[in-house]
Structure 1
Amino acid sequence: MGIHPKYFDPQGVYKILDDLQNHLEISHHISNSKNKIVAVGECGLDETAMTNIDQQLFVLEKQIDLANRFHLPLVIHCRGTHLYQKLFDCIKNRISDRNFPFHWHCINSNSNLHIIDLFLNQYPNSYIGFKGSITHGNNTENFHRFENWLIKRSPFLPERLIFETDYPYLPPENLHGKYDPTAALIASAIYLSKTITGSDENTYSYIHSSNINIISTYNL
């Protein structure tokens, strides 16, 4: 549960933050794990939002502090390559525990991969989310750079990846309109396997690794 940087009203943000804190406090005292909130987010920075970056940073900082207070993973969102450094700096300034669990949502060819590398090194208990958008890109040069990045980091990827559906947004190439979200997840895994090994032989191994990482991150 969290406040997306693109979808909050600055005039009502204090009420929204209070509501979020109240929900987290209630969840914290629930004994039944099936009814507990498992993470804070997705939260972060977004260049397409109507709110300005200072407003987004304020809301992000509050959510980082809540995740830290309630010992919950933080799901991160960033849209805008130039904002990755600002977001990373914000996290480092507020989270000193290198073992804090993070899930950086929606990594693809539009991401600032240099910052993602720094982030993964800074926080060994962090994960990166892959969804259908990894299978295509608007900029050919960036897309090839992303594929090379995947190949070079393939030895540790199984330990750090989480497959996402984010249905119905940003589906894999050739999947549009109504489709089975599971098909999108499998398509992303097939693409990853083919990019790294040249075949789909590691598809289910990657999915299995993702499932293990999800269970570990969210204490499921």
Structure 2
Amino acid sequence: MKLFDTHCHFDFDVFQDDFAHQFELAREQGIERILIPSVGPSNWSRIQTIASQYPGLYYALGFHPYFLQPDFDQHVAELERQLSQAGKHCVAIGECGLDFSINVPVALQERALELQFELARKFKLPVILHCRKAHNRLVQMVKTAKLPKGGVLHAFSGSYQQAMEWVRLGFFIGVGGTITYPRANKTRDAIQRLSLEHLVLETDAPDMPILGYQGKPNHPSRLIHVLNELALLHSQQWQTIACQMWENSNSVFSICE
């Protein structure tokens, strides 16, 4: 079994004291590839260093709306430079998007996102999208952007109708710990109805805890729980699901096996 955690903040401090051991714990559960999205200039260098040291690690560069600073424009040229010099382990732009639940001006978020969409077009890279209470506006901006490679809508927790809007825009739906909670009826229904060819797996570790592990930092090794729940929702063998998820994940990020 080969699994790909398409969204894991593996560079965060909670993993750093014994990173080699944390990485091995994931490998023991069949997690052969992990994508580390950035949050902004503060961790661009860190995730690139980690990805260069451990096989199977990939990364994305961008500005996360939650960590967006008013002076982000000063770093756009550096982001473009790093993307132009990045090797095969840089496979996307992000984590980027819109979050209308935080105290960051909407105009600032939208400006940052538009600039990242420009870079996605220039470098022909997919984007990893963060969306919170901003579905309609984000869909509108993506439609306007005409992105060449689509991407992944990270941490999906909406309805089937919302998911299909993203699918029609050429995006994969990021499936994580939300589906392990029986009370998440809307999201579980949506994931059950969606074709497997439109899905990828993620943990968002150390966030988005799995049922039964609340209060503890999430870990990429727990991706297996998301896989098992997805298999139950689709009434298929987990081996079949795992193969499809592996294929989807490598496809969206243009990673050759």
- Report the CA distance shift for 1:53/1:120 in structure 2 as closer, same or farther (over 3 A): same
User: Residue by residue, what CA displacement relative to the aligned partner does 1:132-182 show, whole Å, maximum 9, x if unpaired?
Assistant: 122127xx4xx22322223322xx22x111111211101210024256522
Q: Partner residue of 1:101?
A: 150
Q: Partner residue of 1:75?
A: 128
For the residues of structure 1 that align with 2:73 and 2:218, how far apart are their CA atoms? 38
For the residues of structure 1 that align with 2:151 and 2:224, how far apart are their CA atoms? 23
The alpha carbon displacement at 1:79 in A equals: 1.0
Contact 1:120/1:127 (CA < 8 Å) preserved in 2?
yes
Q: Does 2:188 match 1:132?
A: no
The alpha carbon displacement at 1:9 in A equals: 0.8
The alpha carbon displacement at 1:72 in A equals: 0.6
Q: Quick one: which of 90, 94, 113 aligns to 1:37?
A: 90
Q: Partner residue of 2:141?
A: 90
Q: Partner residue of 1:60?
A: 113
TM-score by length of 2: 0.70
Calculate the aligned-residue CA RMSD, in Å: 1.9
The 3-state SS of whatever aligns with 1:38 is: strand
Where do 1:124-203 residues align within 5 Å? Answer: 126-136=171-181, 140=183, 143-153=184-194, 156-157=195-196, 159-176=197-214, 177-178=216-217, 180-182=219-221, 184-197=222-235, 201-203=236-238
State how many pairs are aligned: 194
Q: Does 2:256 match 1:207?
A: no
For the residues of structure 2 that align with 1:105 and 1:39, how far apart are their CA atoms? 13
Q: Partner residue of 2:80?
A: 21
Any unmatched runs of 5+ in structure 2?
Answer: 1-60
Higher mean C-alpha displacement, 112-121 vs 70-79:
112-121
The 3-state SS of whatever aligns with 2:243 is: helix
Contact 1:74/1:102 (CA < 8 Å) preserved in 2?
yes
RCO higher in structure (CA 8 A, sep ≥6): 2
Which amino acid is the alignment partner of residue 52 of structure 1?
P
The 3-state SS of whatever aligns with 1:166 is: coil
Q: Partner residue of 1:48?
A: 101
TM-score by length of 1: 0.80
For the residues of structure 1 that align with 2:115 and 2:217, how far apart are their CA atoms? 36
Which amino acid is the alignment partner of residue 172 of structure 2?
Y
User: Residue by residue, what CA displacement relative to the aligned partner does 1:97-146 show, whole Å, maximum 9, x if unpaired?
Assistant: 5xx331111112xx2542321121232xx211111122127xx4xx2232
Percent of aligned positions that are identical:
25
More strand by share: 2
For the residues of structure 1 that align with 2:161 and 2:248, how far apart are their CA atoms? 23
Any unmatched runs of 5+ in structure 1?
Answer: none
Runs of 4+ with >4 A deviation = none
Which amino acid is the alignment partner of residue 164 of structure 1?
E
Q: Partner residue of 1:7?
A: 67
